[in-house]
Amino acid sequence: MNDVLTALLRANIVAAATVLAVLLLRLPARRLFGPEAAYRLWIAPPLTALATILPPRAVEDVQVNFLSQLAVERPLVWMSAWILGSTLVLASFSWAQLRFMSAVKAGRAGPAVVGVIAPRIVMPEAASAYTPEELSLIRAHEREHIRRLDPRAGGVAAILQALCWFNPLAHLAAHLMRLDQELACDAAVLRHRPRDRALYAKTLLKTQLAAQALPFGCYWLAHGRHPLEVRVGLLGDARPHEGLAGPVLMTGLAAVAAVAAWGVQPPVLRHPPPMISFWDAHQQGPTMSVLLVRAPPAHRDDA
């Protein structure tokens, strides 16, 4: 149990450091290579967390490693707290999902992609208020989510939030990842329909009026003004970002981060010392123990 808690703590420390690096790189990457390349950076935190639990490297002599010295007191208490917290977060996500599906049945939610394994597109009853051109853009946006496997990425992010519920950077990363996911999807749609930028912005303004939390799926974010301003503002960027430099660089950075995270694991001995069984120990012959006892000084009676 101590090993599990230590591995969990090590994975959270490494993933948190990777999230901080992504926070520093995502905006410059978006400006230089476009939203789609910047979105690829979010593969790095789960990759580095996974790398810390892979089999470690073998060495001749084990070196002192700070993370290997992390000791956990009362492991049963901490394990129970972790399981309880993860269960509560998953329960809150399930409740939010049920509320969203209830709104879908009532015709008050959408457009969105619902589900992870077999995602489907849902539309609100007010879809008749959109023009045929706007509906075409909305469906193209949602189909792009499904084509890019974005619902599954959102599901992985939700599960990692539950597993790392005590790590505030995990929740911040999930929120920003979903925003970058929408920006990347916008860019992918407009790459095929560059003349529809103005209509796309108008459709966004129509659709952002109301939304509910959807942990397992993709929906058009409406939490405050900032996400909408960012999305509409990026629609004016008509620069083509179709080269391989951005995707290759972002994927390379994620791979380098994963290898570095794997390297922080405490190594294991390549040739561990042989263990002597009870029978072998007795076959080596009897052992003799010597106990040295210091006698007290003799008492002299001069009387």
Work out whether the CA dihedral 129, 104, 106, 92 comes out positive or negative. Answer: negative
215-221-224 Cα angle (round to 5)? 115
Residue 23 pLDDT level (bands cut at 50, 70, 90): very high
Query: Angle of helix 225-234 relative to helix 197-207, nearest 10 degrees?
Result: 170
Instruction: Provide the pLDDT for residue 219.
Output: 80
In a domain, 10, yes or no: yes
What is residue 158's predicted lDDT score, i.e. its pLDDT? 94
Looking at every residue in the chain, the average pLDDT score rounds to 80
274 occurs within a structural domain = no
* Total structural domains within the chain: 1
Asked whether residue 191 is assigned to any structural domain, the reply reads: yes
Assess if residue 302 is contained within a domain.
no
Is 206 domain-assigned? yes
CB distance 183 to 29 below 8 Å: no
What pTM was computed for the model? 0.78
Residues 208, 201: Cα–Cα separation, whole Å: 11
Q: Tens of pLDDT along 188-201?
A: 998 888 888 888 88
Residue 170 resides in a domain: yes
Residue 58 phi, psi (nearest 5): -105, 140
By DSSP bridging, strand 268-269 and strand 217-219 are: unpaired
The answer on pLDDT for 210 being more than 50 is no
Alpha-carbon distance of 40 to 255, in angstroms, equals: 11
279 occurs within a structural domain: no
101 belongs to a structural domain: yes
- For residue 190, the enclosing domain spans 2-269
Q: In angstroms, rounded to a whole number, what is the distance separating the alpha carbons of residues 219 and 181?
A: 10
pLDDT tens digits for range 88-125:
999 999 999 999 999 888 888 878 999 998 999 998 88
